[in-house]
Structure 1
Amino acid sequence: MTRAWLLALALLLAGCDQNMDVQPRYSEYGRAPLFRGSVLRKAPAGVVDRNALAEQAAVRNKPPLNAALLERGQQRFDIFCSPCHGANGDGNGFVVERGMPSPTSYHAERLRNEEDQHFFDVITNGYGAMFSYGARVSPRDRWAIVAYIRALQLSRHGSIDDVPADERGKLLEQR
């Protein structure tokens, strides 16, 4: 008798489908009569994203220039910027060779005279045909890219007077 009850209970439970994939639900961007509009709800007034304060601080505070920052900037530049701007920042990346408009060279005098904030803002918001990388590149990495762009500019437009005096002698000996 006990076996019969266990068998009946097992069959009854096997008939219950607890699959959450087939339950009724709304699409994220669909309309919902319950909410009188879209399913996506706006955040209540005064709500602050838990990462917003840290991100705002990273946007405002440029990290100190060091070798690690430049190395990270080069890595991020190669990933995000070089397809259009080229490895040297000349504006001749491989997407330009395939028909996209050529971006201005970082070595143009106008861009050499721009503030660092300009480059940061362009990476964040986009400019012309360039789309925004604000959601793809963290603020610290944006500053690293800006530092690397400055290094590219200095590599082509620097003078011997830009080199510290103790290092200048070594360079002159190598000539």
Structure 2
Amino acid sequence: MRRALLVALLPFALLGCRQEMAQQKRYRTYAAAPLWPDGTAARPLPEGVVAQGDLAFLAAAAQPEVTPALLARGRERFDVFCAPCHGLAGAGDGMIVRRGFPRPPSYHTARLRAAPAQHFYDVITDGYGVMYSYAARVPPADRWAIAAYIRALQLSQDAEIAAVPEARERLR
């Protein structure tokens, strides 16, 4: 009886195993397709199409205007992510270096003073030498803030007192 029931149900079980979903008719990339007026399966993107997130990414990756708020944010992010290796003044003497790790270059060398702000943004994004990429840890807007703060550090360490009139008055 049991065997007869299994034999009777076997055709129904086999009918449920059709491969229609796995073997769908589809066009291969760049195949001819008479369905479309241009005769190709590859469809051009409609005018004005932008990939999801691209506009926001491009806006964040654009170099912003330097403001006191940007410098404050840059200092905060620099202290968190950069100062352990580069030191608080950017001289390359951070706590990690004191523990035996390789010394990063000072921001106050002639080469890095002449580098554009984009260089610092790119190094934070992609890494350089023994420094690994911080792209996953530091958002693009914060990378620009850090780059602006590095510029402020460079100016502060090589400034002449004549360039800061208020400070000159306080020293008298």
Give the TM-score band, short-chain normalised. Answer: 0.5 to 0.7
Q: In the alignment, is residue 126 of structure 1 matched against residue 127 of structure 2?
A: yes
Structure 2 residue aligned with 1:55: 57
Q: Secondary structure, in 3 states, of the residue corresponding to 1:96?
A: helix
Query: What's the CA shift for 1:97?
Result: 1.2
Give the length in aligned residue pairs.
126
Percentage identity across paired residues of the two chains? 55
- When residues 96 and 172 of structure 1 are mapped into structure 2, their CA distance, relative to the original with a 3 A threshold, is closer
Structure 2 residue aligned with 1:69: 70
Structure 2 residue aligned with 1:113: 114
Structure 2 residue aligned with 1:174: 170
CA deviations 1:24-54 (Å, max 9, x no partner) are xxxxxxxxxx9xxxxxxxxxxx897632321
CA distance in 2, matches of 1:55, 1:99: 37
CA distance in 2, matches of 1:49, 1:161: 51
Structure 1 residue aligned with 2:146: 145
Query: What's the CA shift for 1:62?
Result: 1.1
Query: What's the CA shift for 1:172?
Result: 2.9
CA distance in 1, matches of 2:64, 2:124: 16
Q: For residue 57 of structure 2, what is the amino acid of its counterpart?
A: E
Q: Secondary structure, in 3 states, of the residue corresponding to 1:111?
A: helix
CA deviations 1:5-27 (Å, max 9, x no partner) are xxxxxxxxxxxxxxxxxxxxxxx
Q: For residue 160 of structure 2, what is the amino acid of its counterpart?
A: S
Q: Secondary structure, in 3 states, of the residue corresponding to 2:71?
A: helix
Structure 2 residue aligned with 1:26: none
Aligned partners of 2:117 and 2:147 also within 8 Å: yes
CA distance in 1, matches of 2:141, 2:163: 26
CA deviations 1:57-112 (Å, max 9, x no partner) are 221x2111111100100010011101110111111111111111000001111101
Aligned partners of 2:107 and 2:150 also within 8 Å: yes
What are structure 2's unaligned runs of at least 5 residues?
Answer: 1-21, 23-44
